[in-house]
Structure 1
Amino acid sequence: MKIIVPMAGRGSRLRPHSLTVPKPLIPVAGQPIVHRLVKDIAKVLDEPIEEIAFVLGDPAWFDDEVVGQLVDLAEGLGAHPSIYRQDRPLGTGHAIMCAAESLSGPAVIAYADTLIRATFDLDQEADSVIWTKKVDNPEAFGVVKLNDKQEIVELVEKPEQFVSDQAVIGIYYFKDVAVLKDKLQEVLEENIMNGGEYQINDGIKKMMADGKVFKTGTVDEWMDCGNKAVTVETNGRMLQFLHDDKEEKLVAESAKLENASIIPPCYIGENVVLKDVTIGPNVSVGRGTKIVNSIVKNSLIQNDSVIKNVNLDQAMIGNHVKYDGKFTQVSLGDYTVLE
């Protein structure tokens, strides 16, 4: 099994936090988004991962340090790491084709801005499985249309009339991804574009036209990391899962606590200093950060920042920030100083 991860985008909706760190590498509940995504997919598949291919953007942005982190991630799962580049933002289909050399055999394609919780077996009768999540407002999403055999027969983007309540979350399984590769090559050669981009959906539609069987794989939880508000919410939800599962140590032994009250679930990283504070619930604090004389809940704070005299709720604070102030729902990017 292979995992293909297109992640070349700059993550503009998550600015200012994605101005200095690629969005897939922004930590949520103590680990970068793409790390959690890949590990969760590997856990769901429950079979050896042969290769993990990452499609990155501009080397000036996705630099050697980023590449090194991704190589470590793949090798930590016993997989061969492959690094590809998408030099122009020409869509999901184009991004996948940038990894053409890796497009053979069974594979999962997953976009690195979402997290899942799921337990199910892949349908061995299907040529492809598209992960979906039941939603209350399907008109806001791309959804699947099913026939009476519960096979996917159409992909419909933001339907005005009800089609189904199963939203596509951006994770796909292909029994042989080379078939998708051939169809996406046709899309490129025929210059089939939507919104000025080549889309994976057009390759999938060609597969459906050839009679390939598509089924759904429904996830239990789908957590987006598209903007600040939903990323903070996702951080809290992931912390609750980790707290309930007891799979990870959430408070580092090196953390220094002085008159500090921690209301779980929280993640407290290495060498964090908490003095005269109440932290939680649903708070992640990255390594080396110091928080003094403060109350913090439902917030995401990254590494090496200094936070004083605050009452934070629904806040997202980047790396190397200095903040001493009265505002509550702040969104501060890396190296911001407010004193």
Structure 2
Amino acid sequence: MKIIVPMAGIGSRLRPHTLTVPKPLTIIAGKPIVQRLVEDIASVIDEKIEEIAFVIGTTAKGFPADTREQLLHIADKLGAKGSVYIQHEALGTAHAIYCAKESLSGPCVVAYADTLFKADFTLDVHSDGAIWVKEVENPSAFGVVKLENGIITDFIEKPKEFVSDLAIIGIYYFRSGEKVLEEIQYLIDNDLKENGEYQLTNVLESLKQQGAKFVPGKVSEWLDCGKKDPTVDTNKQTLVFEQDAGNDLVSSDVVLENSEIIQPCYIGKNVVLKDSKIGPYVSIGENSTVTKSIITNSLIQTNVTINNAHLDKAMIGNYAKYNGQYTSVSIGDYTELT
């Protein structure tokens, strides 16, 4: 089994945090979003992962020079071969997959690195494909599927009238990567675009018309990392999942000086807490120092210095310094508010 992860988007809705770190590499409860994504997929499909292919953007679009090294390390931790491809121009969801064409063969999962999920779904590797979906209150904002006898019959993009509440979350299984590549190649060779882009929904529709049967993979939780507040909430829910799984995310070398940690929390290595109350639902990255502060429900990255703060629903980037009275702040890497 292979996993293809298109992740070349710039993540503009999560700025300023994505000005220096691509959104899929943003740390949630101690791990990059993309690492949590592929780990969740590996647990659902229950198959050996042979290769993970990542499709990233260029350094000019904000992808640091060490992105490739980070992604290969993530693949290696799952015992898989890592491959990294570059999408030089944003030409749609199908085109992003096409950039990894050298890895697109055999059974594969395609997962866009925009979201995290939790599922009890067991993948039937003998089906032609599966599309992960989640019931939503406002289906008009999503691509949705219609079902008949457990088989997907229709794909509808942002329906104006109600046809289904099963939204496509951006994770797909294909038994034959070769067939997917063949259909994408047809779109590109014939320049078949929608709104100037090559769309995966056209590939799915063509495969369905050729007789492919797709089944829904339902998820219990769909965690958004698109904007600051949903990302902070995703951190909270992830911490709860980790606690329920019996995982202790507080590093053994954390220095506590007249301070308290209220679980669940992630506290990284070499963190110093002085005269502070941390938690619940707080992640603090390694090499950070917090003094005379109260922090709840917040996502704080690495090498951060915080003084005299009362934070809630805050998101603070790497190497930032904060000393102030604002509560629900959102500041990026290397920012100083002192």
TM-score, scaled to structure 2: 0.97
Which whole-Å CA distance do the structure 2 matches of 1:30 and 1:78 have between them? 20
Q: Which residue does 1:145 correspond to in 2?
A: 146
Where do residues 72-151 of structure 1 align in structure 2 (5 Å cutoff)?
A: 72-147=73-148, 149-151=149-151
Structure 1 residue runs of 5 or longer lacking an equivalent are none
CA deviations over 1:14-69 (Å, ceiling 9, x no partner): 10000001111010011000011011111111111111101111045434421111
1:299 equivalent in alignment to 2:292: no
How far 1:96 sits from its partner (Å)?
0.3
Which whole-Å CA distance do the structure 1 matches of 2:251 and 2:207 have between them? 49
Which whole-Å CA distance do the structure 2 matches of 1:79 and 1:157 have between them? 34
Which whole-Å CA distance do the structure 2 matches of 1:310 and 1:63 have between them? 31
Further displaced range: 13-22 or 182-191: 182-191
* Number of aligned positions between the proteins: 337
**Once the two structures are aligned, what percentage of the paired residues are identical?**
54
User: Equivalent residue of 1:238, what SS?
Assistant: helix
Q: CA RMSD in A?
A: 1.2
Which whole-Å CA distance do the structure 2 matches of 1:194 and 1:300 have between them? 37
CA deviations over 1:260-312 (Å, ceiling 9, x no partner): 11111110110111111111111100001111111111110000011111111
Maintained 8 Å contact 2:117/2:222: yes
Which whole-Å CA distance do the structure 2 matches of 1:120 and 1:169 have between them? 14
User: Equivalent residue of 2:207, what SS?
Assistant: helix
Q: Which residue does 1:271 correspond to in 2?
A: 270
Aligned AA for 1:234?
T
User: Equivalent residue of 1:183, what SS?
Assistant: helix
How far 1:317 sits from its partner (Å)?
0.3
Where do residues 86-235 of structure 1 align in structure 2 (5 Å cutoff)?
A: 86-147=87-148, 149-235=149-235
TM-score, scaled to structure 1: 0.97
Maintained 8 Å contact 2:7/2:56: yes
Which whole-Å CA distance do the structure 1 matches of 2:279 and 2:198 have between them? 43
Which whole-Å CA distance do the structure 1 matches of 2:125 and 2:303 have between them? 47
CA deviations over 1:212-243 (Å, ceiling 9, x no partner): 10110001111011111110000000000001
How far 1:118 sits from its partner (Å)?
1.4
Which whole-Å CA distance do the structure 2 matches of 1:96 and 1:117 have between them? 23
Q: Which residue does 1:311 correspond to in 2?
A: 310
Further displaced range: 188-197 or 319-328: 188-197
CA deviations over 1:80-121 (Å, ceiling 9, x no partner): 111111111111111100111111100000011211111222
Q: Which residue does 2:257 correspond to in 1?
A: 258
Aligned AA for 1:25?
L
Which whole-Å CA distance do the structure 1 matches of 2:13 and 2:255 have between them? 34
Aligned AA for 2:271?
V
